[in-house]
Chain A
């Protein structure tokens, strides 16, 4: 496209090209943003890592995405969830909601912890990140359904899901559930913290949705051979 337009727009070429969302040439390497990788000395590197380092000297590297940072508190799952919650590009609002959710989760648990007796204290999980990860893991479906057309009819065929698809489905269900099925006047962080806590305890609407999907897949087990991949 750039080649056809250059003839028409001769005196002017844009200085800045959008690079990230057009497809990078596979020649480009992924950026390494974690600090601990660079603090390793020569002796600790394995053979593969040494090869990687050789490559990085020669090959060009993609630009890093916006939300990625080398902070010790960076969590890729939390970052992905924040991006999925974002509307109209308002990252500050999405991030604020995320921090408030984690804070609410922690507050409830720490309050329970301080009021509990000694034996109960060990069972209470106070780490909001552990609760968040565990809740999302509990929501991830194992099999999904794909729409396959055979002999003029559409069948829902049970299909294995990739890890990224499972993670995406869990997050999507969580966010849509909180946006649509809760009371209008509660804040998003309250709704999210309630739903995450329920998912952590394996209750709640999102877990129910996952089990319904599993039941549908089990019911349509007979059509599993329609899948050809």
Chain B
């Protein structure tokens, strides 16, 4: 059989609308026949959101495209994911000179729910869970990219564990003396937030007056951009700025006069209710509740605000003092976390199915990543299936040295 794979590529037309096309060369016989037609989907969306008008859209991914790869445009990669993608994936993007994500069932499910959300009801919480390396972070990134293309305001915390582990600088908080600030992490996150949501910074106005020090304050009615710049330039108060930002967005998102949808995407949300690595000066452990960033993020996780959605993952990788075999949401979130997150929509992210494995294998072949002559044979493929157990991460690691 002539094996080829299916590619979706999104590229802009000159009128400012995007369309994606499928280039199908020839399929192996999963479906029992070979199809050579090209199907073109056209959908419109504008990058400039007019003040009270939402452009209607249909995203081009559906059940038919499970197992296929779609290319994220390079401009989007720089803006939407300044620090959002897993480390090995970033290296892969650099090597292949393109960012291709596989369309998989869990992400499609959450995207279909997001399309049908009723924005007048409280925000729904979605939790991706699965064994180690099954593709939860990348499913989250796929969903985040979808939200970005639909013009939502994306609050993406790429790794909540970074706020809870290995913190070198810990300042006592100026706002509340029992809590601790993490200036470096807060500044980094604010910078990334600014890159992703440039267009909203000059449109949203804050509704409350914030006083940072004796001489610095942000007036009511000033733009969100000024708040973010205040946090980035004044490193000491950056954690409080993050808290203020989250509060403003939470309060404003359901209101009728606001013209944005808020998508809160948190990777490894079990870090908020787990244990932390950080120690105080007297060598006692810091509870995550005592960190300002975590405290404010927990408020966002409650479903008492409307006009958006909360998409999260739970992962054991990198989490502090949790056994390796735990992968279910209840084990990872713990009692407190589960009580806060309950009710949520759990979405299981399994290992690759046979079709998805084929697709991944063909993608690596197309990108000249499988170089060992034996890996292109049937026996080699069987051995890859056996060694990786169709786990996406394991397959990637094995193929990288072949």
Contact = CB atoms under 8 A, between A and B. Distances in A.
Interface of A: 71-73, 98-100, 102-103, 106-107, 110-111, 113-115, 126-129
B369 A110 contact: yes
B383 A71 contact: yes
Residue among A72, A100, A102, A113 with most chain B CB within 10 A:
A72
B56 interface: no
Contacts of B373: 127
A72 B374 contact: yes
Given A111-B94, A114-B96, A129 B380 contact: no
Contact of B401 (A103, A111, A115): A103
Given A72-B380, A103-B401, A127 B95 contact: no
Contact of A72 (B96, B377, B401): B377
B399 to A, nearest CB: 9
B372 interface: yes
Given A73-B383, A111-B95, A126 B368 contact: yes
Interface string B354-391: 00000000000001110111110101100100000000
A98 to B, nearest CB: 8
B62 interface: no
B402 A73 contact: yes
B118 interface: no
Nearest to B369: A110
Contacts of B379: 72
A27 B400 CA distance: 43
Given A72-B379, A72-B380, A73-B380, A107 B91 contact: yes
A144 to B, nearest CB: 33
B284 interface: no
A111 B93 CA distance: 10
B367 A110 contact: yes
A99 B387 CA distance: 15
Contacts of A103: 400-401
Interface of B: 91, 94-97, 367-369, 371-375, 377, 379-380, 383, 400-402
B298 to A, nearest CB: 39
Contact of B371 (A72, A99, A115, A126): A126
Given A72-B380, A73-B402, A103-B400, A128 B97 contact: no
Contacts of B95: 107, 110-111, 114
A110 B401 contact: no
Given A102-B401, A111-B95, A115-B97, A129 B377 contact: no
Contacts of A128: 371, 401
A99 B369 CA distance: 14
B371 A127 contact: yes
A128 B371 CA distance: 7
Given A71-B383, A99-B401, A127 B97 contact: no
Contact of B372 (A100, A107, A115, A127): A127
A106 B400 CA distance: 8
A193 to B, nearest CB: 12
Contact of A73 (B91, B94, B96, B374): B374
Question: What 3 pairs across the A-B complex have the smallest Cβ distances?
Answer: A99-B401, A127-B371, A72-B374
A16 to B, nearest CB: 31
B69 to A, nearest CB: 15
A111 B374 CA distance: 22
A103 to B, nearest CB: 4
Nearest to A35: B379
B266 to A, nearest CB: 31
A113 B368 contact: yes
A111 B97 contact: yes
B361 to A, nearest CB: 15
8 contacts: A72-B377, A73-B374, A99-B401, A102-B401, A106-B371, A106-B401, A107-B91, A107-B400
B394 to A, nearest CB: 13
Given A100-B401, A126-B368, 16 more contacts: A72-B379, A72-B383, A73-B372, A73-B374, A73-B375, A73-B380, A73-B383, A73-B402, A99-B400, A103-B401, A107-B91, A107-B95, A110-B368, A111-B94, A128-B371, A128-B401
Contacts of B401: 98-100, 102-103, 106, 128
Contacts of A73: 372, 374-375, 380, 383, 402
A126 B94 CA distance: 16
B88 to A, nearest CB: 10
Contacts of A99: 400-401
Contacts of B400: 99, 103, 106-107
